[in-house]
C-alpha cells in the first residue's frame, strides 16, 4: 500500500476519511494534531506553549512537529504504509519530510486533496466531537454522524471530547493559515505528479467512494 498524504482545509473531513482508509486497508492513521494534543498532556513549558498555539489556530514549530512525526513513522506498524493527516502543513515541512524519506529510504506515495467550500467546512465544526482514544469523529448536530449513546464512542466506549479550536473565530484563523501556508503544498506535490482530487462537499460515504476508486486504480 502506498503512503497517503491527506490535504484539506480544517474540518473538510480528513480525520473521518483517514479512519475509513485505516479500517479498509489496515494501515495506521497519523494525525499530527493528535500527536500534538497528546504532547500537551505533559506538565512542561513546551506543553503549555503547544496548547496556546493550538487554541489560537496557529501552527506549532516545524522542529517540534518533525521530531514527533519522524519517531512515529519509524514505528513498526508503519512499514506497510500510513496515512498522514495534518502533515505536512507548509512547504518547509514538505521539504524536510522529503529529506526524512530519503534518509529512511521510504517512498512519498500519493497526495489526496479533499476539496470543499469554506462555508460547508465551517458549518461542520458546530457539534463536532471525537474520541480521544480511537480518533473516531462524530457530529451531534448531524443525525448520520451522532454517537449511538450520547457523549460515548460507539467503537471503544470512551467519553467523547469537543475541541477548543472548533469555534467560528478560531476557524477563520485556521482557514487563513491553511490558505497561506498549506494550500501551496498542492502545487509543490503537483510537480511530482502525485496529486489526486476528491470532492468532499457531500458526505463521508461519497468522499470515501472516490478515494477507494483512486486507490484501486493506482494499486491495479
Ligand atoms: P488538526 O487536528 O490537524 O486540525 O490540528 C490542530 C492544530 O494542531 C493546528 O491548528 C495546529 O495548531 C497544530 N498542528 C497540527 N499539525 C501541525 C503541523 N503539521 N504543523 C504545525 N502545527 C500543526
For residues 174, 188, 70, 172, the Cα torsion angle rounded to the nearest 10 degrees is 0
In sign, the C-alpha dihedral spanning 35, 73, 64, 111 is negative
Predicted confidence at residue 163, as pLDDT, reads 85
Look up 128 and say whether it is catalytic.
Answer: yes
From the CA of 11, give the closest atom in ligand 1: 4
Q: Estimate to the nearest angstrom the gap between the alpha carbon of 179 and the chain centroid.
A: 16
In angstroms, rounded to a whole number, what is the distance separating the alpha carbons of residues 74 and 130?
Answer: 26
**Per-residue confidence in pLDDT tens, the chain, 220 aa:** 889 999 999 999 999 999 999 999 999 999 999 999 989 988 999 999 999 999 888 889 999 999 999 999 999 999 999 999 999 999 999 999 999 999 999 999 999 999 999 999 999 898 899 998 888 889 998 888 899 999 999 999 999 999 888 888 899 999 999 999 999 999 999 999 999 999 999 999 999 999 999 999 887 6
Q: Which residues contact 205 (CB under 8 A, 6 or more apart)?
A: none
Q: Which residues contact 183 (CB under 8 A, 6 or more apart)?
A: none
Ligand 1 site residues (CB inside 6 A) read 10, 31-33, 36, 53-54, 57-60, 65, 86-87, 89, 93, 165, 174
> Residue 31 Cα, ligand 1 centroid: separation in angstroms?
8
The share of the chain scoring above pLDDT 90, in percent, equals 79
Which CATH number applies to 4-118+170-219: 3.30.390.10, 3.40.50.300, 1.10.443.10, 3.30.70.3280? 3.40.50.300
Predicted confidence at residue 220, as pLDDT, reads 63
Predicted confidence at residue 58, as pLDDT, reads 87
Q: Which residues pair with 130 in a beta bridge?
A: 137, 161
Domain boundaries, the chain: 4-118+170-219
Q: What is the mean pLDDT of the chain?
A: 93
Sheet of strand 4-8, all strands in order from the earlier edge strand to the far edge: 29-31, 83-85, 4-8, 110-115, 195-199
Radius of gyration of the chain (CA): 17
Predicted confidence at residue 208, as pLDDT, reads 97
Amino acid at each position: 500500500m502506498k503512503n497517503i498524504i491527506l490535504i484539506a482545509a480544517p474540518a473538510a473531513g480528513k480525520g473521518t476519511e483517514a479512519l475509513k482508509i485505516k479500517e479498509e486497508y489496515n494501515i495506521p492513521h497519523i494525525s499530527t494534531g493528535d500527536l500534538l494534543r497528546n504532547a500537551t498532556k505533559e506538565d512542561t513549558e513546551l506543553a503549555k506553549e503547544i496548547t496556546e498555539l493550538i487554541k489560537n489556530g496557529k501552527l506549532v514549530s516545524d522542529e517540534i512537529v518533525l521530531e514527533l512525526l519522524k519517531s512515529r513513522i519509524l514505528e513498526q506498524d508503519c512499514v506497510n504504509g500510513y496515512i498522514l493527516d495534518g502533515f505536512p502543513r507548509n512547504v518547509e515541512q514538505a521539504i524536510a519530510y522529503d529529506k526524512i524519506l530519503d534518509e529512511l529510504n521510504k517512498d512519498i506515495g500519493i497526495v489526496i486533496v479533499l476539496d470543499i467550500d469554506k462555508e460547508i467546512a465551517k458549518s461542520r465544526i458546530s457539534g463536532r466531537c471525537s474520541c480521544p482514544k480511537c480518533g473516531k469523529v462524530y457530529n451531534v448536530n448531524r443525525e448520520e454522524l451522532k454517537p449511538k449513546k450520547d457523549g460515548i464512542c460507539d467503537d471503544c466506549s470512551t467519553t467523547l471530547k469537543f475541541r477548543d479550536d472548533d469555534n467560528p473565530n478560531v476557524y477563520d484563523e485556521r482557514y487563513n493559515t491553511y490558505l497561506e501556508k498549506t494550500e501551496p503544498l498542492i502545487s509543490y506535490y503537483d510537480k511530482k505528479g502525485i496529486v489526486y482530487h476528491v470532492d468532499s462537499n457531500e458526505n463521508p460515504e461519497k468522499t470515501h467512494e472516490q478515494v477507494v476508486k483512486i486507490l484501486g486504480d493506482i494499486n491495479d
